[in-house]
Structure 1
Amino acid sequence: MTDQFSNRFPQFYITAPQPCPYLPGRYEKKVFTHLLGENAIALNDTLSQAGFRRSQNIAYRPACDGCSACVSVRIIVDEFKPNRSFRRVLAQNEDLHGERKPAKATQEQFSLLRSYLDTRHPEGGMADMTALDYVSMIEDTTVQTSLIEYRQQGENAEQTGPLVATALTDRLHDGLSMVYSFFMPDADHRSLGSYMVLDHIERARAEGLPYVYLGYWVADCRKMSYKMRFQPLEALGMDCWQRMPV
């Protein structure tokens, strides 16, 4: 009876305070649980609805003392229409093709990630990531997840260029959740981060999924500001998801 109860009602834990990665001078705490057992997929779906994010076999969300700056946001797929700026991004990347792959790490992916981290986030929390850490990030999962690799197309289907960008993506019952993405750091003209979000919107639309989950948005964090461009958005409030004002 105890084991059955534990499988249905997971145990939650809270981390010790750590420096906040988004707001200088603040500290963060997270509440988390393990995504294990036969109910892992359903649990990930339920917790994603409640504002949790996934990292390997752990689902977590902020639980900071006196702070609620992290807001879960998701794009409303059916109502999204690319503006002129986004249409330009799509045109700049017409030569790219995204292919869904099983969640298996490769050396090519890790090399691209290292280049991305060393250039864009040299002092971030993932700066010291090793190849083994990357394998764990990609392959330690009990939920429906996959990689989407973006490459430049050749003259025919058999000709493809080097890896340009990669997204680790979970499939939820009501949408696609972008867990983590990285790209060539010296291709600013492509706006690859925005392009991958646009591509996920179209993938969700093709699968009849209503949302693309973008994780957390923090109003006072500049590196989070890009998420507000993908309107319309819903944000998770105290009781439910609500449309955000433009």
Structure 2
Amino acid sequence: MTRHSAKAPQFFLTSPAPCPYLEGQFERKVFTHLVGEKASEMNDLLTLGGFRRSQNIAYRPACESCRACVSVRILADEFQPTRSMKRISRRNGDLIGTEYTAEPSSEQYSLFRRYLDARHSGGGMSDMTVLDYAMMVEDTHVKSKVIEYRRRGPDSFVTGRGEGPLIAVALSDMMSDGYSMVYSFFDPAEEHRSLGTFMILDHIERARRQGLAHVYLGYWVEGSRKMDYKIRFQPQEHLTGNGWERQEP
């Protein structure tokens, strides 16, 4: 087995493949392995450089003819919710998110499966098995958390935890300067709650409480409707050729 040093990681380049966001474009990615004792430190550095994590792989776009993918992070302390975001927060005031070590469960996978079948049927993740899901959650050498959202119960004011069925889940990395949201999913029967937006709002609040500066949302792709939601969380910074720069709507 090849050993990868955290101080001198080896980088690899994928072959071109059809872009999932922009029709007619082809994507390539540069990637490296996040392993060993320094994996969290390396993940911090690479995330600051525009990389994303998937299991024990850190990757970023390296497309030959397109630069549409832009790394985005929210400035948590300065964030101001819109009126619609405030309504979403009130609508979900009956939910509590509890952080756990990144460990999969059968209840999580059942919810994940319902979410994929309802929202992403035929997509790249649609054939993920329970083992695939377990690997997505626990195959990591960095500090990751699973946040489970459930309804408030009669004992929640004592335990600080929700009760009853699982409503939503977020898999996030804990970084030195904030949260990096890796993946989230929710009960499709609760779509009226706008749970995707709610979980981002909850991460912003968690970052604030812990004195962390940022919430990383991954890539925003101008011209891709499925990415439009990311630009609504202002103020935010985009990674440019000059480093992280404040974006003006």
TM bin (shorter chain): over 0.9
| TM-score in terms of structure 1 length | 0.96
Closer, same or farther: CA 140–156 of 1 in aligned 2, 3 Å: same
What is the CA–CA distance in structure 2 between the aligned matches of 1:165 and 1:114, rounded to whole Å? 12
- For residues 14-34 of structure 1, the C-alpha deviation after alignment (integer angstroms, 9 at most, x for no partner) is 111111111122211100000
Q: Tell me what 1:74 maps to.
A: 73
1:220 aligns with 2:223: yes
- Structure 2 gaps of 5+ residues are none
Q: Runs ≥4 in structure 1, deviation > 3 angstroms? A: 3-7
Give runs of aligned pairs for residues 25-174 of structure 1, distance below 5 A. Answer: 25-157=24-156, 160-174=163-177
- For residues 5-58 of structure 1, the C-alpha deviation after alignment (integer angstroms, 9 at most, x for no partner) is 944110100111111111122211100000012211110000000000000000
Contact 2:74/2:236 (<8 A) preserved: yes
What is the CA–CA distance in structure 1 between the aligned matches of 2:6 and 2:97, rounded to whole Å? 37
- The SS at the match of 1:101 is strand
What is the CA–CA distance in structure 2 between the aligned matches of 1:7 and 1:216, rounded to whole Å? 24
Q: Tell me what 1:202 maps to.
A: 205
What is the CA–CA distance in structure 1 between the aligned matches of 2:163 and 2:96, rounded to whole Å? 9
- For residues 43-95 of structure 1, the C-alpha deviation after alignment (integer angstroms, 9 at most, x for no partner) is 00000000000000000000011100100000001110212111100000000
What is the CA–CA distance in structure 1 between the aligned matches of 2:107 and 2:4, rounded to whole Å? 43
- Superposition RMSD in Å: 1.5
Give runs of aligned pairs for residues 182-193 of structure 1, distance below 5 A. Answer: 182-193=185-196
1:176 aligns with 2:175: no
| TM-score in terms of structure 2 length | 0.95
- For residues 178-234 of structure 1, the C-alpha deviation after alignment (integer angstroms, 9 at most, x for no partner) is 000000112222000000000000000011000000000001110100011100010
What is the CA–CA distance in structure 1 between the aligned matches of 2:16 and 2:107, rounded to whole Å? 35
Closer, same or farther: CA 115–86 of 1 in aligned 2, 3 Å: same
What is the CA–CA distance in structure 1 between the aligned matches of 2:213 and 2:6, rounded to whole Å? 29
Q: Tell me what 1:233 maps to.
A: 236
Once the two structures are TM-superposed, the CA of residue 103 in structure 1 deviates from its matched residue by 0.7
Closer, same or farther: CA 162–17 of 1 in aligned 2, 3 Å: same
